[in-house]
Amino acid sequence: MEATVSKINKQSNFIPMAIVATLFFILGFATWLNGSLMPYLKQVLQLSPFQASLILFSFYIAVTFTAVPSAMIIRKVGYKNGMALGMATMMVAGLLFIPAAKTQVFVLFLFAQLVMGAGQTLLQTAVNPYVVRIGPEESAAARVSIMGILNKGAGVIAPIVFTALILSDFTGLVGKDLSQAEIDSMANSLIYPYLGMALFIGALAFAVTKMPLPELIDDEEQGAKGQLKEALSHPSLALGVVALFVYVAVEVIAGDTIGTFALSLGIEKYSVMTSYTMSCMVLGYIVGIVLIPRVISQQAALSVSAILGCVLTLAVVFSDTSSVLIATALGLEVQLPDTLLMIAVLGFANAIVWPAVWPLALSGLGKLTSVGSGLLVMGIAGGAFGPLFWGLASGGVDSAAAQQGAYIVMLPCYLFILFYAVKGHKMKSWK
């Protein structure tokens, strides 16, 4: 969807960019909160690994069927109102956690996650064009990188906040059978934090409607169906969509299942583990900004990321969960197993993939660029299936060994990313 800004004073870009930056932080916070929520609900509701993976599935699957309706809504109400509606939907999702926690009905938690994912999709569809169009075109890449760091930086903070507000009162409960009173207490601890988050997002939604955000004007819509078919005739784009699908799958596995795996290993502070993965991802973003393209090309960086992902995946699957050599070498206060820390380092390997695939996939598309961008966004749906396959690969067995072996599902994903980096992005036809 092409968009142009009407009547923007270049001197007044700071306030709109600050607003957009805040929204990207909110998106990251709500997204990576799942890494703490998943193991917490697994413990409270006594879920199997597969059932726990549905918490992520219900969140990310919303992208699949709400992306197109979101674009239609924004076309009708405008970008600024679209942002407000997206946050209002997220507010409703936060409020739905209250009856879910009170009743401890798993389906209600899944529904709340589904609504949260739908709200996020609408907000993402509305806010992303601003990053490119709100300032000079020559500095757009820098703005995209900054927003990425804010998004992942929120992923560092969210698990820490979750642990401080919700998990801090529950110690010594990992690895033991919970009484009904303990289950009730843990479930009820979700109510006030999610109520507070809902009220904050609701207030921000109202504030956005009153803020000085310039409206974006869409270019005249073209034949979408014909363009879609033409765009998919480009192998570099079609394979790029698949590459992003498997990338988001491994990104979410590394970021959001690490806490569940830590719980199976008896780690008391399992809810904070996503912060480790996100910290490595932020580091990867910074390294990418410094090195690409000054030192290394996007294609080469993508190849290195895929190879590192393959190596780390095999190391995770076959490592000794009792070894703490890495934690000792780094001088960490908590002696975390090497296996967990290697999952966290996958965040570093993953950081380069998203910004590297986009330009390779869109190269040479010309007038089809906007359609291609819409297709690439659909790759986010991979976040729904990655954890699901991980849960299935564990065989439904709630054991550390089964969950550790399940990480092998990441290997074919990284191999496909490597194929795309070496050959797929160069393909000009299917013949």
For residue 78 the two structure tokens come to: 């405008």
**Among the listed residues 19, 9, 13, 7, the one whose alpha carbon sits nearest the alpha carbon of residue 211:** 19
Residue 118 dihedral angles phi and psi, to the nearest 5°: -65, -40
Using CA atoms, how far apart are residues 84 and 185, in angstroms rounded to an integer?
34
pLDDT number for residue 9: 46
pLDDT (average), residues 255-276:
91
Choose between 10 and 204: higher pLDDT: 204
DSSP letter (8 states) at residue 178: P
Q: What is the Cα Rg of the chain in Å?
A: 21
pLDDT number for residue 137: 54
pLDDT category of residue 269 using cuts at 50, 70 and 90 = confident
Q: Are 316 and 342 in contact (CB under 8 A)?
A: yes
Choose between 11 and 427: higher pLDDT: 427
Q: Is the pLDDT of residue 178 over 50?
A: yes
Choose between 340 and 333: higher pLDDT: 340
pLDDT number for residue 196: 93
pLDDT category of residue 420 using cuts at 50, 70 and 90 = very high
pLDDT number for residue 226: 66
pLDDT number for residue 428: 81
Choose between 202 and 361: higher pLDDT: 202
pLDDT number for residue 74: 83
**pTM for the complete prediction?**
0.84
Domain 11-216 grouped into CATH 1.20.1250.20: yes
pLDDT number for residue 14: 74
**Among the listed residues 116, 388, 379, the one whose alpha carbon sits nearest the alpha carbon of residue 247:** 379
Fold agreement (11-216, 224-425) = yes
Write out pLDDT tens, residues 196-240.
999 999 999 998 888 877 766 655 454 555 677 787 888 988 999
pLDDT (average), residues 175-198:
88
CATH code of 224-425, in short, is 1.20.1250.20
Give the CA angle between residues 209, 210, 212 to the nearest 5°.
100
pLDDT number for residue 136: 66
- Please state the domain extents for the chain: 11-216, 224-425
Q: Mean pLDDT lowest for which of 2-11, 283-292, 354-363, 381-390? A: 2-11
DSSP letter (8 states) at residue 164: I
pLDDT number for residue 6: 43
Choose between 317 and 30: higher pLDDT: 317
334-337: which pairs have CB atoms within 8 A and are 24 or more residues apart? 334/269, 336/262, 336/267, 337/265
Half-sphere exposure of 101 (CA within 13 A, CB side): 21
Q: Mean pLDDT lowest for which of 54-63, 133-142, 274-283, 393-402? A: 133-142
Write out pLDDT tens, residues 278-307.
999 999 988 888 887 788 888 898 999 999
pLDDT number for residue 8: 43
Complete DSSP assignment for 385-420: HHHHHHHHHTTT--SHHHHHHHGGGHHHHHHHHHHH
